[in-house]
Amino acid sequence: MSEIQGIARLGSNPELKYVGEDKKPVCEISVRFINGKQDKITQEWEDRGFWTQVNIWGKCAEPAAKMFSTGDRIIITGNMVGVSWADKDDPEKTVSGLKVDTNSVAPYLPDLMSLEYKERSPQNQKTSATQSSAEDS
């Protein structure tokens, strides 16, 4: 397992699912990580990006499914893991690839026109006020 962080573009709309006995939310998206550089000699752009499946787990799953859509750029921090599955054309053949598991995604700020925050719950406000008082001491 390797940690990965980067900017990616959604290749499809998010799909929200609930898995396991406890119906844990997971938002599945297909993304292309943006990775490239300009060749110093030819001045041409060398695209070294790659496609992968991303699973967004926990508290971020439902907001991500509502907030993002095909073509959006997002910032992802997560763990890249190897996976295998049966080939859809030849079930006898196994295909290997990579996917990313995360609970940390964010919109790419240069693409935002506006942003709205939800109000913090009273419980979180009390915790923050207690922490601020302790830090000020």
**CATH number for the domain whose boundaries are 2-136:** 2.40.50.140
State whether residue 12 is helix, strand or coil. Answer: coil
As a residue count, the chain comes to 137
Tokens of 76: 């992802």
Measure the CA–CA gap between 12 and 39, rounded to whole angstroms.
Answer: 30
| Maximum alpha-carbon separation in the chain | 66
Each residue of 80-137: pLDDT tens digit? Answer: 888 877 878 888 888 777 788 888 899 988 888 887 777 877 765 554 444 444 444 4
Each residue of 8-44: pLDDT tens digit? Answer: 999 999 999 999 999 999 999 999 998 877 778 888 8
pLDDT at 131 (0 to 100): 47
Each residue of 66-81: pLDDT tens digit? Answer: 999 999 999 999 998 8
- 95 neighbors 118 (Cβ within 8 angstroms): no
Task: Compute the CA torsion angle 55, 57, 62, 66 (nearest 10 deg).
Answer: -30
